[in-house]
Structure 1
Amino acid sequence: MKKLVRNAVVATLLTVAGTTAVVASPAHAIPYPKDNESITIVYYSDASRTVEVGMLVYGNCLDDFEYGIRTAYSTINRTTCPRNL
């Protein structure tokens, strides 16, 4: 009986720990561009960031466009444009 109770307690603790880890993970925030900026986000297939699978460009310098797929692996670049655009 003690072993059964111990296993139930361990299972409960592991479930709570796993749920806490999922809830506590940060969200991927998309940055907001300034008046003279455009944001380029390049998405990659995996953590090595060698195979590009998508891109998102938005802001005030270039026309907004998107292609491919969004993944958890990305790089974010800010481009400053001249004030007269």
Structure 2
Amino acid sequence: MKKFVRNAVLATLLTVAGTTAVVASPAMALPYPNDNESITFIYYSDASKTVEVGMYVYGNCLENFEYGDRTRYSTWHRTACPRDLP
């Protein structure tokens, strides 16, 4: 009986831990750029968003570009490509 109770408690703890891990770590989907757009993420040091610490640019205008740190505090925007780029 002790073995059954121990296994039941262990199974419950593993279920709760697995559910917590899935719920506690939501993923943010990156926006998808259109044919003539790039997406720019600007990362900041804290929630006040006054000190820029990094940037990530990707899309269809130029090569992808990244510098600095990625943090949880960010803004993003779309930029249309100039028409004279190949």
TM-score range relative to shorter protein: 0.5 to 0.7
Partner SS state of residue 35, structure 2: coil
Structure 2, unmatched stretches of 5+, are 1-15
Give the whole-Å Cα distance in 1 for the aligned partners of 2:56 and 2:66.
4
1:30 corresponding residue in structure 2: 30
Deviation at 1:28, TM superposition (A): 2.0
Give the whole-Å Cα distance in 1 for the aligned partners of 2:28 and 2:61.
23
Is 1:53 paired with 2:49?
Answer: no
1:69 corresponding residue in structure 2: 69
Deviation at 1:23, TM superposition (A): 2.9
Structure 1, unmatched stretches of 5+, are 1-15
If the length of structure 1 is used for normalisation, what is the TM-score? 0.66
Matches within 5 A, 1:4-43: 23-24=22-23, 25-43=25-43
Deviation at 1:26, TM superposition (A): 2.6
Q: Identical aligned pairs, as a percentage?
A: 71
Partner SS state of residue 47, structure 2: coil
Give the whole-Å Cα distance in 2 for the aligned partners of 1:49 and 1:80.
24
Partner SS state of residue 79, structure 1: strand
Q: State the Cα deviation string for residues 48-83 of structure 1 (Å, max 9, x = none).
A: 111100000111123321000101110011011245
If the length of structure 2 is used for normalisation, what is the TM-score? 0.65
How many positions carry a matched residue from both structures?
73
Partner SS state of residue 23, structure 1: helix
